[in-house]
Amino acid sequence: MKIGIMGFGVVGGGVGELIATNAESIKRRSGEEITVGKILDLRDFPDSQYKCFTKDFQDILNDPEIGVVAEVMGGTKPAYEFTKQLLEAGKSVVTSNKELVAKHGTELLKIAKDNNVNYLFEASVGGGIPIIRPLYTSLAANELTDIYGILNGTTNYILTQMIKEGETFENALKGAQENGYAEKDPTADIEGHDTCRKTAILASLAFGKFVDSDEIPCEGITKVTLEDVEYAAKFGAVIKLLGITSRAENGVYAMVCPAILDSSHPLAGIDDVFNGIMVRGEGLGDVMFYGRGAGALPTASAVLSDIIDTVKHKDKHIRLGWSEGQEGYLLDAKTLPSRFYVRLSKTEAAPETFAKKGYDVITLDGEKYKDEFAVVTPEMTGYEFDKLVSVDGELGGYNVLGKIRLVAE
Amino acid sequence: MKIGIMGFGVVGGGVGELIATNAESIKRRSGEEITVGKILDLRDFPDSQYKCFTKDFQDILNDPEIGVVAEVMGGTKPAYEFTKQLLEAGKSVVTSNKELVAKHGTELLKIAKDNNVNYLFEASVGGGIPIIRPLYTSLAANELTDIYGILNGTTNYILTQMIKEGETFENALKGAQENGYAEKDPTADIEGHDTCRKTAILASLAFGKFVDSDEIPCEGITKVTLEDVEYAAKFGAVIKLLGITSRAENGVYAMVCPAILDSSHPLAGIDDVFNGIMVRGEGLGDVMFYGRGAGALPTASAVLSDIIDTVKHKDKHIRLGWSEGQEGYLLDAKTLPSRFYVRLSKTEAAPETFAKKGYDVITLDGEKYKDEFAVVTPEMTGYEFDKLVSVDGELGGYNVLGKIRLVAE
């Protein structure tokens, strides 16, 4: 079986490397020898071990020997058009392209089904962590109720630097860029967009209907301060950026936001660039997946696992259980109850008055903290909380310096 | 598709319950309605929602409507004979029976292949944690190098009680029995046999050749004392019962033993009846799976995931990559280097002399500990360590009160 690779960047190069070095175990697992037939990239790679480069997509599309194509070019243009044409031509496509899957997954899966081929995307969430396939295989017998986790290594690295090293957000981001953990333009990571796409993919797959990432409320970590981290620590907690989705009777909830997690929570100890994904099902209880969520070889190994799976399922469409979306299926996350952390400047407000009202009060020692404190509200909906911190609300009279949702176990 | 259930105990009852309650999502996932055709059990269940009980195995074997059978009776007799006959009759079998898989997996997989049906056993390791299937699917593209983890909930509960509550082994075991976490005869758990079978299954599957659980060096937790737990704590570590297997050039290593793990190790925080399994692959890095390793519904959900998979793979044998064993394939684990913890009574020996020789020395305060101390040796093989604590060895002159292997990250 020959495969095509579209995009010979970090992940594409990793796929090529793994196919070359793991040939024997791949054959043992798939039952066939897998070789690289053609590689599409506009750049030249004179030093590569591969000599089958092309700059013309048609060369892959029209090569009858190529049965599976790894789309690892990223973005939606031209990946969307290419993928569509390949599937329509009866070739399976496997991808690490979370943007494309989150946006056009429903349509591409339908085209794959209609042409009796496969569109698989294990590498789109969690790098080398096997999370996508378990959702449609091992965990398929469960009525899953919740999936939430740390889905982005860059932001987790930044938060870990703030928590463990006392770095400011700005310095931690700079360090992440210097270490190659963050891109020059880190927007997609730090604003939560990457986590949001992954959350949409997990929700669509786990609960069966497409969830549009554009409709998921999404907040990144740019407003998280070192002060917030220290209040959280005093409260016995850490701040993590979470993608959260849960099933309800009439639809699903989903959101992306920084969250305060008790230190004893299994996700609280997941540091640096690692990812951790918690899956909860009726009967199943909690299952957690943990590992390096990015990187060339982990991601490439996930792509390759999909290639092997398509080779094993020649002429057979693998049912993922991801069907079309539905108006009103994504429910309003602001109706969910939660406790909230709020950092307040100490104007007239006395911490004691809050303690009396059932708030937890957190104070920190030192000159820096003499004019402020933090509270943790009782449980309330997002709407109730908005009202609380609005101009005429209970906290509206004070200067709100920061606010973060608490996520309980 | 009708299924048979053999054994209507805790897991079998759970399978029946899940099929009844999750009918819709099972149909969505598998593409077919799945119902229970016959249940084999010698007992009567007059109150069950099911009315299809039989006491005669032939009723299942000869029922042409039954295409898949869940063998959840445990033990090897008569499960082995039954499974063989079912596979030979062209029925797929899925199981939670780790004893049978560890002992006869190679033969049963071959019979399944010859008859173009499947023998699957996701539920045999880790309860509801998806670990078996990822090894032959998502992680199949990797050259895996190490698998190790906490594979037995009972012993982990006991050790957690010792570590967190300061219970003695005996009291913790009694508590586990009272809570239903340990059986009346806890031998298989506390002597490590259960962990050993699971380790053999993981090794056979991950590295491709059968490893016999009877040949794996196996030590349980019966010799672990509260004192060991306290020395470990002072050393910044915890004691966990681990199943360990790793690949080498000429074969594989495997062992089951209590191990001292640094508190920062991802497995160190896995407490109570939870399991955690760490998988390491070249390129992949470390991936960890965590969840409730036992219990009726988690285990039943794993059985059911295999049922769904066999329904999706009708007339198609799923290649697991587990082939026959080979003389000398299981290597001698005593040749592996490690550091070792040794607890010594303070006869003539002065802790200082050990510190000078490159040992770490651990002392504890209090009357109870005035006549003893512990050391952690430099790295050495199991043979070198045996020699060290033998009559004429360096530690042989002292009274060795306990010894435990250290497992580094």
Active site includes B198? yes
- B7 belongs to an annotated ligand binding site: yes
How high is the pLDDT of residue A347? 67
| Listed residue (A166, A146, A193, A180) closest to A336, CA to CA | A146
Q: Across residues A322-348, what is the average pLDDT?
A: 92
Which residues from B are below 8 Å from A15, CB to CB? none
CA distance B162 to chain A (A): 18
Q: Across residues B78-92, what is the average pLDDT?
A: 98
How high is the pLDDT of residue A348? 65
Report the greatest alpha carbon distance in chain A. 76
Q: Across residues B221-244, what is the average pLDDT?
A: 97
How high is the pLDDT of residue B348? 65
Percent of chain A with pLDDT over 90: 80
Q: Does B140 touch chain A (CB under 8 A)?
A: yes
Backbone angles phi, psi at A390, to 5 degrees: -80, 170
Question: What ipTM describes this predicted complex?
Answer: 0.88
Chain B window 10-49: which residues touch A at a Cβ cutoff of 8 Å? 14, 18, 21-22, 25-26, 28-31
Whether the CB-CB separation of A56 and A82 falls below 8 Å is answered with no
CA–chain centroid gap for A377, Å, is 28
How high is the pLDDT of residue A354? 83
Average pLDDT of chain A, as a whole number? 94
Tell me which DSSP letter residue B330 carries.
Answer: B
Distance CA B333, CA B335 (A): 5
CA distance A372 to chain B (A): 34
Q: Does B337 touch chain A (CB under 8 A)?
A: no
Chain B window 294-333: which residues touch A at a Cβ cutoff of 8 Å? 295, 297-298, 300-305, 307-309, 312, 316, 318-319, 321
| Listed residue (A140, A96, A130, A277) closest to B137, CA to CA | A130
pLDDT digits (tens, 9 = 90+) for A260-284: 999 989 999 999 999 999 999 988 8
Burial B145-164 (b: 16+ CB within 10 A, else e): eebbbbbbbbbbbbbbbbbe
Distances in whole angstroms, Cα of residue A172 to Cα of each of A180, A229, A259, A275, B54: 12, 13, 18, 18, 66
How high is the pLDDT of residue A229? 97
- B53 belongs to an annotated ligand binding site: no
Q: Which helix (H) or strand (E) holds B146?
A: strand B144-150
pLDDT digits (tens, 9 = 90+) for A60-69: 999 999 999 9
Count contacts between A and B (CB, < 8 Å): 187
How high is the pLDDT of residue A262? 96
How high is the pLDDT of residue B248? 96
User: Using H for helix, E for strand and C for coil, what is the string for chain A?
Assistant: CEEEEECCCHHHHHHHHHHHHCHHHHHHHHCCCCEEEEEECCCCCCCCCCCCEECCHHHHHCCCCEEEEEECCCCCCCHHHHHHHHHHCCCEEEECCHHHHHHHHHHHHHHHHHCCCCEECHHHCCCCCCCHHHHHCCCCCCCEEEEEEECCHHHHHHHHHHHHHCCCHHHHHHHHHHCCCCCCCCHHHHCCHHHHHHHHHHHHHHHCECCCHHHCCECCCCCCCHHHHHHHHHCCEEEEEEEEEEEECCEEEEEEEEEEEECCCCCCCCCCCEEEEEEEECCCEEEEEEEECCCHHHHHHHHHHHHHHHHHCCCCCCCCCCECCCCCCECCHHHCEECEEEEEECCCCCHHHHHHCCCEEECCCCHHHCCEEEEECCCEEHHHHHHHHCCCCCCCCCCEEEEEEEECC
**Over 80: is that where the pLDDT of A6 sits?**
yes
> What's the one-letter identity of residue A9?
G
Backbone angles phi, psi at B93, to 5 degrees: -130, 135
CA–chain centroid gap for A234, Å, is 28
Burial B26-61 (b: 16+ CB within 10 A, else e): beebbeeebebbbbbbeeeeeeeebebbeeebebbb
Residue of B38, B91, B198, B240 with catalytic role: B198
pLDDT digits (tens, 9 = 90+) for A235-254: 999 999 999 999 999 999 99
How high is the pLDDT of residue A252? 98
How high is the pLDDT of residue B356? 81
Region for B116 from its dihedrals, namely left if φ exceeds 0, alpha if ψ lies in -120 to 50, beta otherwise: left
How high is the pLDDT of residue B149? 98
Burial A195-227 (b: 16+ CB within 10 A, else e): bbbbbbbbbbbbbbbbbbbeebbbbbbbebbbb
Grade residue A353 by pLDDT with cuts at 50, 70 and 90.
Answer: confident
Please answer yes or no on whether B286 and A284 come within 8 Å at the CB atom.
Answer: no
How high is the pLDDT of residue A94? 98
Please answer yes or no on whether B128 and A26 come within 8 Å at the CB atom.
Answer: no
Distance CA A262, CA A249 (A): 28
How high is the pLDDT of residue A106? 97
Tell me which DSSP letter residue B333 carries.
Answer: G
Q: Across residues B374-378, what is the average pLDDT?
A: 94
Q: Across residues A318-342, what is the average pLDDT?
A: 95
**Over 80: is that where the pLDDT of B38 sits?**
yes
Instruction: Let me know if B376 is exposed, middle or buried by CB neighbors in 10 A (0-12, 13-18, 19+).
Output: buried
Please answer yes or no on whether A134 and B139 come within 8 Å at the CB atom.
Answer: no
Please answer yes or no on whether A136 and B29 come within 8 Å at the CB atom.
Answer: yes
Distance CA B273, CA B293 (A): 7
**Over 70: is that where the pLDDT of B399 sits?**
yes
**Over 80: is that where the pLDDT of B246 sits?**
yes
- B8 belongs to an annotated ligand binding site: yes
Distances in whole angstroms, Cα of residue A266 to Cα of each of A195, A286, A287, B284: 19, 10, 10, 22
The residue that leads in pLDDT, B120 or B181, is B120
* Residues forming beta bridges with residue A241, ordered by sequence position: A258
Architecture of domain A2-128+296-312: 3-Layer(aba) Sandwich (3.40)
Distance CA B168, CA B224 (A): 9
Poorest-pLDDT segment among A219-228, B41-50, B128-137, B353-362: B353-362
Distance CA A12, CA A303 (A): 9
| Listed residue (B210, B244, B280, B233) closest to B382, CA to CA | B244
Grade residue B222 by pLDDT with cuts at 50, 70 and 90.
Answer: very high
Distance CA A385, CA B240 (A): 44
- Catalytic positions of A, written as ranges: 198
> What's the one-letter identity of residue A111?
I
The residue that leads in pLDDT, A347 or A147, is A147
What kind of fold does domain B134-292 have according to CATH? Answer: Dihydrodipicolinate Reductase; domain 2 (3.30.360)
Chain B: residue nearest A135 by CA? B130
Q: Does B122 touch chain A (CB under 8 A)?
A: yes
**Over 90: is that where the pLDDT of A228 sits?**
yes
- B252 belongs to an annotated ligand binding site: no
What is the residue extent of each domain of chain A?
2-128+296-312, 142-291, 336-407
Which residues from A are below 8 Å from B136, CB to CB? 29
Distance CA A363, CA B166 (A): 33
| Listed residue (B92, B80, B111, B78) closest to B3, CA to CA | B92
Which residues from B are below 8 Å from A298, CB to CB? 283-285
| Listed residue (B288, B284, B308, B311) closest to B131, CA to CA | B288
Please answer yes or no on whether B287 and A284 come within 8 Å at the CB atom.
Answer: no
Distance CA A133, CA B339 (A): 38
How high is the pLDDT of residue A280? 96
Please answer yes or no on whether A290 and B266 come within 8 Å at the CB atom.
Answer: yes
How high is the pLDDT of residue B347? 67
Please answer yes or no on whether B140 and A305 come within 8 Å at the CB atom.
Answer: yes
pLDDT digits (tens, 9 = 90+) for A65-94: 999 999 999 999 999 999 999 999 999 999
Residue A32 tokens, joined: 């066939």
Distances in whole angstroms, Cα of residue A3 to Cα of each of A15, A62, A64, B251, B396: 11, 13, 11, 31, 61
- B94 belongs to an annotated ligand binding site: no
- A9 belongs to an annotated ligand binding site: yes
Grade residue A13 by pLDDT with cuts at 50, 70 and 90.
Answer: very high
Percent of chain B with pLDDT over 70: 99
How high is the pLDDT of residue A356? 81
How high is the pLDDT of residue A214? 97
How high is the pLDDT of residue A309? 92
Q: Classify domain A142-291 at the CATH superfamily level.
A: Dihydrodipicolinate Reductase; domain 2 (3.30.360.10)
pLDDT digits (tens, 9 = 90+) for B143-201: 899 999 999 999 999 999 999 999 999 999 999 999 888 999 999 999 999 999 999 99
Average pLDDT of chain B, as a whole number? 94
Q: At what angle do helices A10-21 and A296-312 cross, to 10 degrees?
A: 60
Query: Sheet holding A92-95: strands in order across?
Result: A53-54, A35-40, A2-6, A66-71, A92-95, A119-120
CA distance A142 to chain B (A): 6
First to last CA, chain B: 46
Q: Does B265 touch chain A (CB under 8 A)?
A: no
pLDDT digits (tens, 9 = 90+) for B262-303: 998 999 999 999 999 999 998 888 999 999 888 889 999 999
How high is the pLDDT of residue A349? 63
User: Among 3.10.450, 3.30.70, 3.40.630, 3.30.450, what is the CATH number of B336-407?
Assistant: 3.30.70
**Over 80: is that where the pLDDT of B350 sits?**
no
Which residues from B are below 8 Å from A266, CB to CB? 269, 290
Q: Does B290 touch chain A (CB under 8 A)?
A: yes
Whether the CB-CB separation of B207 and B325 falls below 8 Å is answered with no
Taking the C-alpha atoms of A100, A106, A111 and A116 in order, what is their torsion angle to the nearest 10 degrees? 110
Please answer yes or no on whether B129 and A287 come within 8 Å at the CB atom.
Answer: yes
Which residues from A are below 8 Å from B28, CB to CB? 208, 321
How high is the pLDDT of residue B293? 84
> What's the one-letter identity of residue B113?
K
How high is the pLDDT of residue A358? 85
Grade residue B349 by pLDDT with cuts at 50, 70 and 90.
Answer: low
* Residues forming beta bridges with residue A374, ordered by sequence position: A343, A362
How high is the pLDDT of residue A351? 76
> What's the one-letter identity of residue A402?
G
pLDDT digits (tens, 9 = 90+) for A193-204: 999 999 999 999
pLDDT digits (tens, 9 = 90+) for A47-60: 999 999 999 999 99
Distance CA B176, CA A238 (A): 32
